[in-house]
Structure 1
């Protein structure tokens, strides 16, 4: 059961990331004028090879000063001025934008790309996987966990980069699966806590879209290796 759960979680996460990459390259929300372009407008000092990015990831795993890193972590967790600082950074970036209308249009297309990806993944891909494995209607399953969906929507929040909606929804999800769908408690009590922690399909999708979207906004064309590096590094 553990191996099956891990294979499912990893597979759906990879599928979500690939879907995000396909959509962002197809819709091209960052700069529609670059659609179909094969040239790279990045300057030489902006070009980073896949090997450089991978080695940079390894180097960043180890802080230069362990004591300083510990103190910074504690201060960041307890800082009450973070909202003011973040708001100031955002305000400064907005003030520096030359063409606000164009940037707003690009951000709107970015949101559309992410939403379309989530709808395809949650409304088509996951039900198809459910039907292929169980040969049962996914609509019956979805109706049984509808209350868990509503609870997740109402409690969706992020703090310290840790998604909390899945954790807060766990009691309701347990009840929906065990009482409505009659699933064995031994399965739900093992699979759900793991899934609430590591199964982040939506995060994988929107982060893939965000990274390539930023490159598109800066007129940087990424090759296949760079796209894989950006997504997984």
Structure 2
């Protein structure tokens, strides 16, 4: 009876709570067992291998579905180009902010961790021009088999555009990829159920080998991500609203309160979509046609907060393992995170899987995921809020450019306060 009750309680816990418990137990067990905790490492290795299994098919199918979901009408094509350009541009800025903050905070410096499989890191960084040339795969099948993420992203984007241009003849293939994408989302959900056990095994090994001092730098990681998120919204987004849109940043920030709060608590851009659409129409004055197209698109491809988090965490892991990154590695991290944001699935654990994609692209050890996974929920709250704030900002700017922003509604609070005064 007791076992049944325990199983019921465990089954009722949210995934992030299970991961936190797994991390805490791993630290305790590792601290007690010391170096002998390495016997538990295969549990974590199993989880890491399962994540590796997901990366290529998940990114490939999600990207194609993301591109083909855009309808090819004149207006929607124009609006889509504006929105995508803004989404991808702000994502590149977000990850750059993350990289800068990670270089300022240096959260992983001094940990002196070692890689169990030296073959996964230490590859020579190619020249910048060569990196750009290598983005186009000579053989797409070979790129898929080798797991060359940048080449896979470029090929998937091209194939998605081609299928869209094919019209009705491309519909059967699009439906196949939509089905495959749904299957990959479900498989991701199943693999993430292993996360608490995988994190337990890896954290026990890490704590046993390096001691509990490994946890202290995580405070710096959290601080860097949260500071980056605040800067991105208050400085960059507000600046674009003022400079590009010629609108009041204060009004924009006030309209964000409800959607940002929902995003912070639910950690789901898609789940926050009803609140975001309501706020964009009723508080910001964006037309129904613009908000109904740009916001769902943003919930799919705008991952500024996730990109910022990936920048901080990638450098944290590089610093922790004593791996020096070249300039070309930074460029690859920015390109990979920006382009892969289109294919980020709206399912639990997707941010962690996308981080594994970035790590594998630049040859950083995936073992570092275990350290970050324990605080992923705390980071997820901040990055989801930023994603939603970015969706709203782009919707306002696109609405203004299309003359579909009712500025009397946008400025209603300011106007009413002047009347009161």
Structure 2-normalised TM-score? 0.44
1:50 matched to which residue of 2? 125
Q: Which structure has the larger Rg over C-alpha atoms?
A: 2
Contact 1:16–1:121 (CA under 8 A) maintained in structure 2: yes
Aligned partners of 1:50, 1:61: CA distance in 2, in Å?
A: 21
23-32 or 198-207, which moves further after superposition? 23-32
1:87-126 matches, within 5 Å, as 87-101=199-213, 103-126=214-237
1:138 and 2:244 correspond: no
1:151 matched to which residue of 2? 262
1:177 and 2:285 correspond: no
Query: SS of 2:281's equivalent?
Result: helix
Of 273, 285, 297 in structure 2, the residue corresponding to residue 194 of structure 1 is 297
1:18 matched to which residue of 2? 96
Higher relative contact order (CA 8 A, sep 6+): 1
Query: SS of 2:262's equivalent?
Result: helix
1:30 matched to which residue of 2? 108
- Shift in alpha-carbon separation, 1:171–1:93, aligned structure 2, 3 A: same
**Structure 1 unaligned regions, length at least 5:** 35-42, 65-71, 157-164
2:315 matched to which residue of 1? 212
Contact 1:212–1:227 (CA under 8 A) maintained in structure 2: no
Q: Which structure is higher in helix share?
A: 2
Structure 1-normalised TM-score? 0.76
Map Cα deviations across residues 152-198 of structure 1 (whole Å, 9 max, x no partner): 12211xxxxxxxx1111111111111112221111101100000110
- Shift in alpha-carbon separation, 1:185–1:207, aligned structure 2, 3 A: same
2:144 matched to which residue of 1? 61
- Shift in alpha-carbon separation, 1:60–1:172, aligned structure 2, 3 A: same
Moved over 3 A (4+): 43-46, 50-55, 57-60, 72-81
Q: Cα RMSD (Å) of the superposition?
A: 3.4
Aligned partners of 2:190, 2:95: CA distance in 1, in Å?
A: 33
Aligned partners of 2:264, 2:120: CA distance in 1, in Å?
A: 43
